[in-house]
């Protein structure tokens, strides 16, 4: 890169959302640069291990990835469909969801992060996207005509639009002056993968626990599962302090030993849970996507799907820009913000409300929420509408 390079779009951050956005914008006829602080490498497949980070990819996200050409590159034997899901309340309430009832092959697909990166990274290069990595971000300034991203080695990249795809602690968001204070849930998500004694038959499980935590078991290929235990902070610390054998016993017992004995096959990892709603996801020549734009509780597994929805919407707006040649034009950014406001706000409202509702210990609240779950389970139309919003 020369001292000053002109692009239509700079994408800061090469996580899954940035990787999925870059080729879509390039295919829309835009000159795109993808910048990342870490080296941009394609993860090597390893049939003998599993990635601790997995994602529940919704049918809508799968369709977007298929349109990009990434879904076809995933190895079929490393993907597990969620064909049904059982949700249990903390006092007898229960909900059952089935892909069959929705006319879908699966409610979602569980895919490893490294597999998704390995499928997306080659598309970035094939689309002619300029990659600048590793690089550190030093400054971000705006003029009427462009944005300038200064790097810590003295180089400067300029573009009509900068997209912040650099995660929950977004440097781009802060540098652009968009501020919001995340609301902590007082929970930490503990994630790990396990081999299990019994077959899961493509069924996911989720338990709302009396301590306010939420435990999810997600099917992996074969007799394996991935778990996300959104636990109160002290419980999460206890879980992370266990040896793997004790952790496996505790996770199995927390699910009533429904799949028999467990064996831990990946080291556990933990991350704090926060809710983040911004005053705006756009500014002058700036758009935010993915975790830089919003934060949701993982109980519905929708974080990455919201991010892919951001990428799809922004790419569609810029592809359909018509006579507006400026990729950073305010009219285009406002169009993007309007498209995403409804879906993101709806998912944030549902997940935040559920997480906080099940954190209330009052007996009458416990009765009401579990009664409500049981009632919805007996109303096919209501349950279908709920499932369509949760698994779209």
Residues 362-371 have pLDDT tens digits of 776 666 776 6
Q: What is the pLDDT of residue 354?
A: 80
Q: Residue range 301-310: average pLDDT?
A: 92
Q: Residue range 72-80: average pLDDT?
A: 96
> What does pTM read for this prediction?
0.93
100 vs 102: CA distance, rounded Å: 5
Q: What is the pLDDT of residue 2?
A: 40
The CATH architecture one would assign to domain 4-355 is 3-Layer(bba) Sandwich (3.50)
Tokens 């290069």 belong to 125
Q: What is the pLDDT of residue 365?
A: 67
pLDDT in tens, 132-185: 999 999 999 999 999 999 999 999 999 999 999 999 999 999 999 999 889 999
């Amino acid at each position: 890169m020369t001292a000053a390079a002109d692009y239509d779009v700079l994408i800061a951050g090469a996580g899954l959302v940035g990787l999925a956005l870059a080729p879509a914008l390039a295919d829309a006829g835009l000159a795109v640069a993808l910048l990342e602080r870490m080296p941009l490498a394609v993860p090597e497949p390893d049939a003998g291990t599993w990635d601790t980070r997995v994602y529940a990819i919704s049918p809508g996200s799968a369709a977007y990835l298929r349109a990009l050409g990434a879904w076809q590159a995933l190895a079929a034997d490393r993907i597990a469909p969620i064909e049904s899901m059982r949700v249990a309340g903390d006092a007898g309430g229960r909900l059952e969801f089935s892909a069959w009832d929705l006319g879908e092959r699966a409610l979602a697909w569980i895919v490893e992060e490294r597999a998704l990166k390995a499928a997306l990274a080659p598309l970035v290069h094939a689309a002619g996207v300029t990659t600048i990595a590793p690089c550190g971000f030093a400054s971000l300034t705006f003029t009427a005509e462009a944005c300038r991203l200064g790097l810590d080695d003295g180089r400067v990249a300029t573009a009509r639009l900068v997209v912040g795809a650099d995660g929950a602690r977004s440097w781009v968001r802060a540098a652009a002056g968009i501020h919001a204070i995340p609301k902590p849930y007082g929970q930490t998500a503990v994630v790990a993968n396990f081999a299990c004694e019994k077959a899961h038959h493509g069924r996911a499980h989720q338990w709302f626990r009396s301590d306010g935590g939420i435990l999810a078991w997600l099917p992996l290929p074969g007799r394996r599962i991935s778990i996300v235990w959104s636990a109160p902070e002290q419980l999460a610390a206890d879980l992370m302090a266990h040896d793997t054998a004790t952790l496996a016993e505790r996770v199995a017992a927390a699910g009533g030993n429904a799949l028999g004995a467990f064996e831990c096959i990946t080291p556990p990892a933990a991350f704090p849970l926060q809710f983040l709603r911004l005053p705006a996801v756009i500014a002058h020549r700036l758009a935010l996507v993915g975790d830089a734009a919003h934060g949701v509780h993982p109980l519905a597994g929708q974080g990455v799907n919201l991010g892919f929805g951001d990428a799809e919407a922004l790419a569609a707006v810029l592809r359909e820009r018509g006579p507006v040649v400026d990729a950073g034009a305010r009219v285009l950014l406002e169009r993007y913000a309007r498209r995403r406001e409804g879906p993101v706000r709806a998912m944030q409202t549902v997940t935040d409300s559920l997480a906080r509702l099940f954190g209330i210990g009052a007996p009458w609240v416990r009765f009401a929420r579990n009664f409500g779950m049981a009632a919805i389970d007996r109303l096919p139309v209501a349950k279908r509408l709920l499932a369509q919003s949760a698994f779209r």
